[in-house]
Amino acid sequence: MSNIISSFKRALTPVVVSAHCDIPCGIYDPSGAVVAAKTVARMVELLEQIEVKDHATRNKYVRCVASKEEHAEKVKHEVQVIWSDYFKPEHLAKVPDLHDQVWKLLKLASKNKQNVDTAAAAELVAATEAFAAAFAASKA
């Protein structure tokens, strides 16, 4: 008898079931990519100002190059995660050029790793801002 009661109790004990992925929806945010792109642009600006004449200025130059590399890579990572994990086929109706836009943005980030180029850095900032706008449009 107690067996029957305990199995009923077990059957009636509520458990939690989920309808969504482990990480709650809505945590994707393109602002990290925009900030990283602006950091790249600022590093390019500094690199063009630094006159390398001793160890101290060389050190500063190298640090700016390293930071430029790091943040250009961060742009790529942040954009790729939103592109692959957040965007669903349904969003393409609102952002039809998404794949082309991301493809060009990632290539632009690589160009910024390879060069110290003010124009390319400005393009990267504009492209990540456009990507952030596309993200917002997909939610509208």
Partner 1 sequence: MEPALRAGDRLLVLPAGERGLPGLRGLPPLGSIVVVEREGRLEVKRVARPPDGTPERTLWLLGDNPARSTDSRQFGALPLSALRARVVWRSGAR
List residues near partner 1 by CB under 8 A: 14-22, 25, 88-91
Whole-number minimum distance, CB 28 to partner 1, in Å? 11
Contact in structure between 95 and 134 (CB atoms under 8 Å): yes
**Nearer CB in complex with partner 1: 1/25:** 25
Q: Give the rounded distance of the alpha carbon of 44 from its chain centre.
A: 20
Per-residue DSSP letter, 21: -
Whole-number minimum distance, CB 90 to partner 1, in Å? 4
**Nearer CB in complex with partner 1: 112/138:** 138
Return d(Cα 53, Cα 94) in angstroms, integer. Answer: 52
Whole-number minimum distance, CB 18 to partner 1, in Å? 5
**Nearer CB in complex with partner 1: 17/119:** 17
**Nearer CB in complex with partner 1: 61/86:** 86
Whole-number minimum distance, CB 21 to partner 1, in Å? 4
Contact in structure between 79 and 33 (CB atoms under 8 Å): yes
- What's the start-to-end Cα distance of the chain, in Å? 58
